[in-house]
Structure 1
């Protein structure tokens, strides 16, 4: 599921072109890390936004991301201006909230945004961030999705991802919890940003 979510959600909605700049939030997770690697395969410049330097170094050193921004210790607005002075063409949004509002202000005209998740609001009262102004000003396209909309093409995504893995173009990492009794810990750790890649409970 994460592989197909990244494959279809990024390629079908963001329609990346060679040389474009892509930003991915929750980039250290299973889907975000996958999206960034596909973007590199497609010839894009990739900036991953994550919550720890450990995850960021993994993204850059092992997965080939061009830059990472630790949103917990860095001013994202200033950092994006520095690492993406040419602006952002594609944004794969796993987070929503104020972080997304900042990124939208860096979008280029006719940029594309793929809405995959809204981690920032899962356990909070939902607040509306101001997104309409950049959407209108930059002629942006924003589209949400659930991977099941491509049910008739799921095997396509599986086979392409498998091919990239065998070719060494795609890497993945899992955070494994052992024992059913650790299921709750695995779940709550997701919201603390503890896991790198996919969180799995091994029973």
Structure 2
């Protein structure tokens, strides 16, 4: 028995198990359709197919979430799969919003930023001038006081964004968990996250 994949736009669109040989299958279908023999492989719908110049090919398996998304487009997904899609969308939205808030306001690594925060706080509380704080102030052509205030402003903005995101996440998680049907889940459109 042969296993034949229909390939369209570089992706497996269908997989057929047949008693025909690969050549018989090709002759029985339109020459405009592309088929590859995937007998003895784990090729599945949604896998990518990389075609080589010599006519050979490589199957590139896709992640399970991609298969779920494909099933969703074809209205074949289950309630659990649709719920997983919505949870992933929510998690990605929250993670990207926090990352954007952090990256927009901080152009240094996280460790360096934490050290800057400590030095800024030490300056504000005890007038201690940490070396990193001084160097950063010099690089930005401001005095140490202004630099310390900017760093703490960044810290507070990130903390505020994080606090808002916790409430945002809990609100939408509750909406997802209260949904009873696939259609209810599909209708969930996340609102814009305030920053």
Q: TM-score, normalised to structure 1's length?
A: 0.21
Q: TM-score, normalised to structure 2's length?
A: 0.22
Give 1 or 2: higher strand fraction: 1
Higher relative contact order by CA 8 Å / sep ≥ 6: 1 or 2? 1
Larger Rg over CA atoms = 2
